Amino acid sequence: MIIDCHGHYTTEPKALHDYRKCQIAGLTDPAQAPSKASLKISDDQIREGLEGAQLKLQRERGTDLTIFSPRASGMGHHIGNAATSEEWSRISNDLIHRACTLYPRNFVGVCQLPQSPGVRPSNCVAELERCVKELGFIGCNLNPDPSGGYWTDPPFTDKWWYPLYEKMVELDVPAMVHVSSSCNPNFHFTGAHYINADTTAFMQFITSDLFKDFPTLRMIIPHGGGAVPYHWGRYRGLAQDLGRPPLKEFLLKNVFFDTCVYHLPGIELLLKVIPADNILFASEMVGAVRGIDPETGYPYDHTKRYIDAIDWLSVADREKIFHGNVKKVFSRFAAQDTTR
């Protein structure tokens, strides 16, 4: 079984985008604010968006199941206020739930949180609990920069975030570190902001005792861990200079990396420096990069091919990466359906 731990709903029905446009317009002109009842999406519209995209690619690539969450760039935590974010998160999460209900063998849900810059993350506890307990979701995406590129909230290691971590630990769900779109012209969203956030979060973990305070808290750093594996020597050395324990024993019980790295040399490096116990298969399809690599004739984001091409990877490690680690990190996944 092959589980893709990182997929976003990037083929949403048009009605969802229209609703969001009206929601945003309503921030300045309340007459345009939509009623929830106005959002009408049929099951067939959901099927249509998924069949020709995520489901087709699962079949073509031989992956079985995707851990599925709302479009990351669509979370837009910097837009409006906490109420805007809460309404939008509920709608987005409900739609993920419907997709998972229509295709229970193909998708398992992960939620977006109603974060808002300057607002304490304790405001996310209720929606997380609803998604896990009522919708059967198995994790959340957590944005280290709700401002969308200005980084004005406290770091992940600040007590500001602790009420949310307490709930994550209680529910036994991990978070994927994932920013949303960037409203800062310095940062292209998928080319700079995403990767920077991954790198930033890891370095925050190095400089703190977060996982001493929460020994069972689990964080997945997507996009192959940002710059971290490429600079693994730098991070080992910085930790050492700062008097922290060796990284493997210090962070790798709690921090995991996905395989969203879109070329073979990158995946080779990832698998060389990070223990297989800490790597989760992912492609982020349909996501940031959609083209065909002219050098290989295959899609850049067909990451399974790169892993398949590494002949020194043991069968046991391959199985950990493709599904074993998912069941460990997303412990509710294992509990939910033992036939999988």
Enumerate binding residues for a second copy (CB under 8 A). 144-145, 149-155, 158, 184-188, 190-192, 195-196, 199-200, 203-204, 206-207, 223-224, 226-227, 229-238, 240-241, 261-266, 268-269, 272-273, 288-291, 293, 300-301
State the minimum distance, in angstroms, from the CB of residue 120 to a second copy.
Answer: 16
Radius of gyration, CA atoms only, the chain: 19
Closer to a second copy by Cβ: residue 127 or 145: 145
Q: Phi and psi (nearest 5°) for 29?
A: -135, 90
Q: Which residue has the tokens 């709903």?
A: 9
Closer to a second copy by Cβ: residue 98 or 236: 236
State the minimum distance, in angstroms, from the CB of residue 326 to a second copy.
Answer: 23
State the minimum distance, in angstroms, from the CB of residue 32 to a second copy.
Answer: 31
Closer to a second copy by Cβ: residue 155 or 174: 155
Own/partner pairs, 82-88, CB within 8 angstroms, 24+ separation: 82/114, 82/116, 82/119, 82/123, 84/23, 84/27, 84/116, 85/114, 85/115, 85/116, 86/114, 86/123, 86/127, 87/23, 87/36, 88/20, 88/23, 88/114
Pairing of strands 175-177, 219-221: parallel
Vertex 155 angle, CA 71 and 230, to 5°:
70
State the minimum distance, in angstroms, from the CB of residue 316 to a second copy.
Answer: 21
Indicate which residues carry an active-site annotation. Answer: 284
Closer to a second copy by Cβ: residue 93 or 182: 182
Host H or E run for residue 140: strand 140-142
State the minimum distance, in angstroms, from the CB of residue 35 to a second copy.
Answer: 36
Closer to a second copy by Cβ: residue 123 or 200: 200
Separation between Cα atoms, residue 104 and residue 99, nearest integer Å: 8
C-beta of residue 129 within 8 angstroms of C-beta of residue 171: yes
- Give me the amino acid identity at 105: R
State the minimum distance, in angstroms, from the CB of residue 284 to a second copy.
Answer: 10
C-beta of residue 94 within 8 angstroms of C-beta of residue 111: no
Separation between Cα atoms, residue 17 and residue 109, nearest integer Å: 20
Q: Any bridge partners for residue 142, and if so which?
A: 177
Pairing of strands 140-142, 107-109: unpaired
Closer to a second copy by Cβ: residue 149 or 174: 149
